[in-house]
Amino acid sequence: MSQEPVFLNLKTAASVCGLTPRYLRRAWPKLLADGVKVSRLPTPKDPQKGQLLFERRSLIFWIEQHAIKMPVNAG
């Protein structure tokens, strides 16, 4: 049985990897280039920019590859 990917919003993704939402918002193109699955969900307020969503599994893999210490409750 394959599981559906779990996408995290900016605030939750930042919490999972111990980074600030501001850092993730600015660095998402680099994370995308490094293999993190990033998606933009259009919002009624700003359909051009939308809301950034990060796929949990690829984000955690990126954290492990870059030796960023994860919080204990990330798991």
Task: State how far the Cα of 44 lies from the Cα of 38, in Å rounded to an integer.
Answer: 19
pLDDT given for residue 45 in this prediction: 86
* pLDDT for the residue numbered 70: 53
Q: What confidence tens digit (pLDDT) does each residue in 21-75 have?
A: 999 999 999 999 999 999 998 888 888 888 999 999 999 999 888 765 555 555 5
Q: Is the confidence at residue 10, as pLDDT, over 60?
A: yes
State pTM to two decimals.
0.78
Report the distance separating Cα 17 and Cα 10, nearest Å.
11
Q: What is the pLDDT of residue 69?
A: 57
Q: Measure the CA–CA gap between 49 and 34, rounded to whole angstroms.
A: 21
